[in-house]
Amino acid sequence: NAGVTQTPKFQVLKTGQSMTLQCAQDMNHNSMYWYRQDPGMGLRLIYYSASEGTTDKGEVPNGYNVSRLNKREFSLRLESAAPSQTSVYFCASSDIFTSTNEQYFGPGTRLTVT
Amino acid sequence: AQSVAQPEDQVNVAEGNPLTVKCTYSVSGNPYLFWYVQYPNRGLQFLLKYITGDNLVKGSYGFEAEFNKSQTSFHLKKPSALVSDSALYFCAVRTNTNAGKSTFGDGTTLTVKP
């Protein structure tokens, strides 16, 4: 049981390049989330997927797109990276339809845009 | 809208002393409250939660938290701090009507000195 996995762990992009961050969970959770973490700003929700087949914007969606590929996988795409997107990105999952309300987090992807 | 405030960026305590990390929240409806811990270069780990029932909840590693509805607070406590408790702590809130979207505080860095 690996929990939530994310790839890659580190990435350096030039301004304007694109990339996709991958996330997978093996806990059969319905809901998945993408956050970014910046110093002194806590975690900010980028996009979330309450259940397979649905996605919705969070607090800071501009510059990002997501795909809920199946129940296990939820990817985050940066179409044209900007230095303001330098951050640590976390994927999380939970099962809001049961008593498992807490979120389980992946190890994070540290992204630098130059 | 829901929000969380962690009024202290940093809390310093001596090993063996009790610790408190403060959290206040604002939400429409009944809150679901969570504490998470983050160690350096790691994802967040769930510590404990309040959904309903007893106002005092116990969690991992000897931590506990008290839900106070009148003061809209959910402070994290531990009777005797360990050096290994040093980490970044996040409080989070959600309700049962917003598809699992949690709002996180900005985090409090706990340093326990030997």
The residue among B80 and A41 whose pLDDT is bigger is B80
Question: What phi, psi does B12 have (nearest 5°)?
Answer: -115, 130
Q: Which residue has the higher pLDDT, B64 or B2?
A: B64
Contacts of B70 (CB under 8 A, 6+ apart): none
Is residue A102 within 8 angstroms of chain B, CB to CB? yes
The average pLDDT across A8-24 equals 97
What's the Cα-to-Cα distance from A82 to each of A6, A58, A71, A112, rounded to whole Å? 21, 19, 30, 9
- Nearest chain B residue to A51 by CA: give it: B99
Give me chain B's average pLDDT, please: 93
| DSSP run (H or E) holding B100 | none
Q: What's the token pair of residue B102?
A: 């949690």
CB count in 10 Å sphere of residue A89: 22
Distance from CA of B42 to the nearest CA of A (A): 5
Q: Is the pLDDT of residue B84 over 70?
A: yes
User: How far apart, in whole angstroms, are the C-alpha atoms of residue A15 and residue A105?
Assistant: 28
B1 touches A: beta carbon within 8 Å: no
Closest-CA distance, B84 to chain A, in angstroms, reads 20
Q: What's the mean per-residue pLDDT of chain A?
A: 93
Q: Do A42 and B90 touch (CB under 8 A)?
A: yes
Answer whether B43 sits within 8 Å of A105, measured CB to CB: yes
| Cβ contact, residue pair A43, B51, below 8 Å | no
Q: A101 at the B interface (CB within 8 A)?
A: yes
Give the lowest-confidence range in B14-28, B40-54, B58-72.
B40-54
DSSP letter string, A2-60: --EEEE-SEEEE-TT--EEEEEEE-S--SEEEEEEE-TTS-EEEEEEESSTT--EE-S-
Task: Inspect the interface and report whether the beta carbons of B44 and A102 lie closer than 8 Å.
Answer: no
- Pair of tokens at residue A70: 């199946």
What is the 8-class DSSP label of residue B70? T
